Amino acid sequence: MEAARLTVQDLGYGGLSFRELAKAVGIKSASIHYYFPTKGALGEAIMRRYVEHYARYLEGILEGGADRATALRRYTDVFRETLLNGNRLCLAGMLAAERNELPAEVRAEVVAWGEMNERWIARVLALGGAAGAEDLRGRARAIFAAVSGAQMVAHGRHEVAVYDEVVATYRASGLIP
């Protein structure tokens, strides 16, 4: 699963091959097919695992009592760390770029990723005081899009400093507290 995730983050869904994955982990391709009969089933499992992992991570930030600014700094750090890991993109970001080529089950997990992020960001924003639920959801979506976009731009330029600069600008403007 980890090798498949890294492959997709590096090469995209189109670059994921059962044969190449099997070779990379030292097993037969039939062994992968046993657990994942289709590439879509494998993609769905990789993405679901990714969503669950980060949902637990983000929940841990809040359970640890982080304030709004600290929680959002740790959130943006996750995207930065992905860039530092071989200039990779967020798995969902990479897959979202290939949306039209993805099986429905993988697209559904990409949507679940975005929704999970937006819900978590809205919860964090609510720590700063009362605001309407619609306002929080809209701002959360804007922050999620901004951070994802900053990662995409930095990835394209292969410069983490670009990500840092963009996120710092968002913070200075007030988009990200």
- pLDDT per residue rounded down to tens, the chain (177 residues): 999 999 999 999 999 999 999 999 999 999 999 999 999 999 999 999 999 999 999 999 999 999 999 999 999 999 999 999 999 999 999 999 999 999 999 999 999 999 999 999 999 999 877 666 678 999 999 999 999 999 999 999 999 999 999 999 999 999 999
The answer to whether residue 83 sits within a structural domain is: yes
What span, in angstroms and rounded, lies between the C-alpha atoms of 88 and 175?
Answer: 25
The answer to whether residue 2 sits within a structural domain is: no
Q: How many CA atoms lie within 13 A of 142 on its CB side?
A: 13
Q: What is the pLDDT of residue 46?
A: 97
CB 18 within 8 A of CB 4: no
The answer to whether residue 120 sits within a structural domain is: yes
Q: What is the pLDDT of residue 128?
A: 74
The answer to whether residue 34 sits within a structural domain is: no
Domain that holds residue 151: 47-173
The answer to whether residue 71 sits within a structural domain is: yes
How far from 109 is each of 114, 151, 171, CA to CA, in Å?
9, 20, 29
CATH number of the domain encompassing residue 98: 1.10.357.10
Q: What is the pLDDT of residue 129?
A: 73
Q: What is the pLDDT of residue 131?
A: 65
Largest pairwise CA distance in the chain? 55
Output Rg (C-alpha) for the chain, integer angstroms. 17
Domain tally for the chain?
1
How far from 87 is each of 43, 51, 149, 158, CA to CA, in Å?
21, 20, 14, 6
The answer to whether residue 127 sits within a structural domain is: yes
Question: 3-state class of 134 per DSSP?
Answer: helix
The answer to whether residue 99 sits within a structural domain is: yes
The answer to whether residue 14 sits within a structural domain is: no
